[in-house]
A = this chain, B = another copy of it.
Amino acid sequence: MSKGLTSRNEDYSQWYNELVTKADLAEHSAVRGCMVIKPYGYSIWEKMQAALDKMFKDTGHSNAYFPLFIPKSFFSKEASHVEGFATECAVVTHYRLKNDGNGNIIVDEDAKLEEELIVRPTSETIIWNTYRGWIQSYRDLPILVNQWANVVRWEMRTRLFLRTAEFLWQEGHTAHATKEEAIEETERMLDVYATFAEEFMAVPVIRGKKTETERFAGALDTYCIEALMQDGKALQAGTSHFLGQNFAKAFDVKFTSKEGKLDYVWATSWGVSTRLMGALVMAHSDDAGLVLPPKLAPIQVVIVPIYKGDEERAKISEVADGIVAGLKARNISVKYDDRDTQRPGFKFAEYELKGVPVRIAMGGRDLENGTVEIARRDTKEKQTISREGLEEHISALLDEIQQNIYNKALALRNEKTTEVNSYDEFKQVLDTKGGFISAHWDGTPETEKKIKEETKATIRCIPLNNKQEEGACILTGKPSSQRVLFARAY
């Protein structure tokens, strides 16, 4: 609270780092690449979890838990999978420490594992090895399972929430009797993610498919939702994979169909992670701090009394208690901050930093007039209104804020989405305006790679229900039947 944040214009990246730390969301830990998620940050994640978990259960899924460790040999069974993850695995090789006799604690070489264990970077292999025992016939299908877990991917360059060696996520793993059913599930879960992003996070997203290059290691098709941050960079906010029969084949998971035929099982997997916290921060927040959508704000309303002396304080508190009770009855989370160790101005700045959507201030004159002052975090507008009907007003205001934050993010995305028809135009837009660039591409990994090497822009996705349109690839001039979305990305 001692000094303000670096502004977004000055240094967006620095602004993000400072905000995450100062707003008590997370901090770097003593372990390289691993973060500590602080209570305020974790309480936002809990709200995300609760909303997502309900959506998973409403679509028929159950939670389960699979081991943290994966035997190295499992990894090697699906060729493209191991290739995708081998270079970033934490490997457990021993199971004991000992005292070396000089008071130093060292690894006990006598306790070396016969086979190394990998700390899961994702759980397809251990789960499909387990599913083999669960599936005999079509009657055992579908299996619709999710797990909330920590995973580890040894990233060399890490950033709080966006890219950390350990992160929290959920991973759904489903098994189906038919290809069609598995694809339907893949698309259903993408819809769930998109709905969550838009309705809870207030972040508009593009639903699309990844190109072959950007696919999940082991998937036949990777669907994704892509969001745009205020600095014009894209962020992949969730993925849903159609895995075909790849993992069933690698782990020999077969079932007997209704017709008595033996076939491999069809699979999907889908996940979102604490990365969403980074997206939430970067999509909405401003130079004064977090701007949280009311549906994910741990504190939706804060009441700050402005008083002279104990008598006035007591009178204000009495009124405030009534407001607190009224708001709680409407399931609005509210905090009354009557700490006398801090001045109102300090508190105002603190709750702005923390992104509390609505602030109510009440002083001596308000007491006389039966009013309160309301300030909304998103627009910073203030308004003095009657205490009469205050709860209804706040309730409607929270809805309005949720919608306004979404609209603002949508307007930004629309403004920062550009159609280009030449490579020069492409590079110019990328370096000035940024954002999503809709352009023709010849469909080859070679062109995709070359554009990435030259511009650092990647194909974020081929939007679903994409308009078919004849055109020429911006790089090669070869024919193309549709535009794809490029951007520089987190």
Identify the A interface with B (CB < 8 A).
27, 29-31, 34-39, 41-43, 45-46, 62-72, 74-76, 82, 86-99, 104-105, 107, 116-119, 126, 129-130, 133, 139, 145, 149-150, 152, 154, 166, 168, 341
Contacts and interface: CB of A to CB of B under 8 A. Distances in A.
A99 to B, nearest CB: 7
Given A90-B95, A93-B107, A69 B31 contact: yes
A105 B93 contact: no
Given A67-B166, A86-B105, A150-B150, A75 B97 contact: yes
Contacts of A99: 86
Given A31-B69, A75-B97, A88-B96, A36 B64 contact: yes
A89 B97 contact: yes
Given A36-B66, A91-B94, 13 more contacts: A31-B67, A31-B126, A34-B67, A36-B130, A37-B65, A41-B64, A42-B65, A43-B63, A88-B95, A92-B93, A93-B94, A96-B154, A150-B150
A9 to B, nearest CB: 30
A171 B416 CA distance: 45
B31 A71 contact: yes
- How often does this chain occur in the complex, in copies? 2
28 contacts: A27-B133, A29-B67, A29-B126, A29-B130, A30-B130, A31-B67, A31-B70, A36-B67, A37-B64, A39-B64, A42-B64, A67-B166, A68-B152, A68-B166, A88-B95, A88-B96, A91-B92, A91-B95, A91-B97, A92-B119, A93-B93, A93-B94, A96-B154, A97-B118, A119-B119, A139-B341, A149-B150, A150-B150
Contacts of A36: 64-67, 130
Contact of A30 (B45, B71, B82, B86): B71
A109 B119 CA distance: 17
A130 B29 CA distance: 7
A202 to B, nearest CB: 24
A72 B42 contact: no
A139 to B, nearest CB: 7
A88 B63 CA distance: 29
Contact of A69 (B34, B37, B42, B66): B34
Nearest to A93: B93
Nearest to A82: B105
Nearest to A103: B76
Contacts of A97: 72, 75, 82, 86-87, 89, 91, 118
Contacts of A105: 72, 75-76, 82, 86
Contacts of A69: 31, 34, 90, 166
Given A36-B65, A39-B145, A87-B97, A31 B75 contact: no
Given A63-B46, A91-B92, A92-B92, A117 B39 contact: no
A74 to B, nearest CB: 7
B154 A95 contact: yes
A224 to B, nearest CB: 25
Contacts of A117: 31, 90
A413 to B, nearest CB: 31
Contacts of A30: 71, 74, 126, 129-130
